[in-house]
Amino acid sequence: MIEIVGREALLRKRKRAEFSDEEVATVRKIITSVKEEGDQALVAFTKQFDGVELDSLHVEEAELAEAVQAVEPKLMTALRHAAERIRRFHEKQLTASWIMEEADGTILGQRVHPLERVGVYVPGGRAVYPSTVLMNVIPAVVAGVKEVVMVTPPQPDGSIPAATLAAATVAGVNQVVKVGGAQAVAALAYGTASVPKVDKIVGPGNRFVALAKQLVFGEVDIDSVAGPSEIVVITDETADPVFVAADLLSQAEHGEDSSAILITTSADLATNVQTEVARQCKRLERGRIAQTALEKYGAITVVGDLQEATELSNQLAPEHLELMVADPWGLLGRIRHAGAVFLGPYSTEPLGDYVAGPNHVLPTAGTARFFSPLGVDHFLKKSSLLCYGKEALLRDGPQAMALAEAEGLGAHAAAIRVRLEREGAKGR
């Protein structure tokens, strides 16, 4: 099921998002149709792809209220508990505007503004992902975004799952649109009569959603082009093979293209985990999916020591990294690239997916080398402030002119020169 392989074979297990020419052409056609036909295209594509003929694209307030009442109290309690922890964590990320004044009166600074309107894509249809709603919406609300528009595909009866709508209410969504797929991304990017144009689109989706986000980038901002879910677990001989196997399977069940990798210093543990994965997989409802993922993109490799283990993990730059070793905090300093790091045997990755507080929208496919988890900063923009007085102009003007002239930009130099001459100073 999950093979024990060497280092080079392990590195070949990495999965990257790639799109065919046919997929690109299809999504471009959908985007163009939405740009040109607006709501009419959204209704047509929803009927074509989801088998649903919509009378209205919007979820009404009454429908949201009914969803909250329909959800089991146990789930509502969990949603509110998770939302509070997510909100509390992300409030720590808030960045304030600042100003500094120099001795000569020059004032420099930075103003921080939230984006005005953000679109959140939530996978739907027969699937239910309330955690996705919380993780994508709450950082935007904490940042101060004025309007959050959520798009999600309808179920066969034209409704949206009650759990999804309840999460939207808890998180603070302003409006919910019953549209999914590439057409929903296009609607958010360009706007229609029913769907307002947004400044940024965040949230996961299928291949066509990911590709649509990539193609509309520039018209709007996006969070990232997310790839399949992935986990790396580093262990020594102290790890519990039952825990390790369970955590590998927790990511493998996401989809057949998910990646689950164990890097261990113990050959005995490697064998025990291999056996335990096979045993646990048989009991899972999504066991067949997990098994396929492990066969294609799962692997176990035995390394000489933890230094080698961290070097290999840094090469992979995984979305999720678990450190199940005797001294996880001692090992943390060697980790340079990972979307989220889970330390110790009780910090299982699914806690991060739901209730811990840090965002579960993480860089995939090795992009943790340069991308960060979704957070409040993704919903903020910054403007620089510059206020020069006469003394500062006299001090810096000649240097700025020298640089402008070196670059052949005479008008730049002239804009400074006329001010220096007005003040009776020479430009050189």
Tell me whether residue 175 is annotated as binding. no
Residue 412, annotated ligand binder?
A: yes
307 is in an annotated binding site: no
* Residues with Cβ within 8 Å of residue 273, at least 6 apart in sequence: 2, 241, 244, 245, 248, 262, 264, 300
State how far the Cα of 75 lies from the Cα of 80, in Å rounded to an integer: 9
Task: Please identify which of the residues 90, 320, 360, 378 carries the catalytic annotation.
Answer: 320
Q: Is 129 annotated as a binding residue?
A: no
Give the residue among 367, 68, 23, 377 at the shortest CA–CA distance from 202: 377
Angle at 200 between CA 41 and CA 371, to 5 degrees: 125
Residue 274 is labelled as binding a ligand: no
User: In Å, how far are 40, 54, 154, 391 from 157, measured between CA atoms?
Assistant: 20, 10, 8, 71
Residue found by looking up tokens 């009454």 in the block: 62
Inter-CA distances, 105 with 99, 102, 389, Å: 12, 5, 7
How is residue 130 written in tokens?
A: 């309330």
254 carries a ligand binding annotation: yes
Structure tokens at 105: 């009166």
Q: Is 320 annotated as a binding residue?
A: yes
Residue 33 amino acid letter: S
270: which residues sit within 8 A by CB, 6+ positions away? 4, 262, 264, 300, 301, 302
Phi and psi, residue 412, nearest 5°: -60, -50
219 is catalytic: no
Judge whether 229 is annotated as a binding position: yes
337 assigned to active site: no
DSSP symbol at 118:
E
Residue 221 assigned as binding residue: no
Q: Identify the three-state secondary structure at position 322.
A: strand
Q: Do 179 and 195 contact (CB within 8 A), yes or no?
A: yes
Out of 253, 319, 322, 349, the active site residue is 319
Strands 107-114 and 380-387: antiparallel
**What's the rounded Cα separation, in Å, for the pair 320 and 65?**
36
Check the annotation: does 206 bind a ligand: yes
- Enumerate the known binding-site residues for NAD(+): 121, 183, 206
- Enumerate the known binding-site residues: 121, 183, 206, 229, 251, 254, 320, 353, 407, 412
- Enumerate the known binding-site residues for Zn(2+): 251, 254, 353, 412
**So which residues are the catalytic ones?**
319-320
